[in-house]
Amino acid sequence: MNAFHHHLNIVLVEPEIPPNTGNIARMCAATMSTLHLIHPLGFRTDDRSLKRAGLDYWKYVDVVHHSSLDRFLEKHGHRELLLFSKKGEKLYTQAPYSPGCWLLFGRETRGLPQLLLEKYSNRTYSIPMRGDRVRSLNLATAAGIITYEAYRQLNHW
């Protein structure tokens, strides 16, 4: 059976900061999740800081590259996509996680594209933050919170 049915799919839409992607790759290695990178990326994949953040775990990460968001949606848009954004009205703990589901995260500076948020508004969730001092959480932190919550709900451990 395809690994997509057993483990989560972590999807980064046009990530910009190498250490974030490297840290998320390390988390994917730890959870046996598949990492999907949607281009254009804000860095080269041979970037030293990307490799440093992922340490020597890259060999344990199943990384799939997608040339564009449109191409990704053509191929996977029918799947169970769950979007995570500060603009989500429902809490990430309420998301209907299932084995093999797809967790989408946007760029560090702009988040997910507005058109995507509108198309999948019923599948967009957020992590609550108290007060108004912080605009958003770090991408790697948010991906970690949500990935581990999904596996917790799925009784993965």
pTM value is 0.90
Q: How far apart are CA 107 and CA 123, in angstroms?
A: 18
Written as tens digits, the pLDDT of the chain (157 aa) is 344 446 899 999 999 998 899 999 999 999 999 999 999 998 877 767 666 655 678 889 999 999 999 999 999 988 889 999 999 999 999 999 999 999 999 999 999 999 999 999 999 999 999 888 888 899 999 999 999 999 999 987 7
CATH number of the domain residue 95 falls in: 3.40.1280.10
Number of folded domains in the chain?
1
pLDDT at 148: 96
Nearest Cα to Cα of residue 128 among 90, 82, 83: 90
Q: Which domain holds residue 17?
A: 3-153
pLDDT at 91: 97
Predicted confidence (pLDDT) per residue in 12-57, tens digit: 999 999 889 999 999 999 999 999 999 999 887 776 766 665 567 8
CB-based contacts of 156, cutoff 8 Å, min separation 6: 31
Average pLDDT, the chain: 89
**Scanning the structure block, which residue is given the tokens 């990384």?**
63
Angle at 110 between CA 147 and CA 37, to 5 degrees: 50
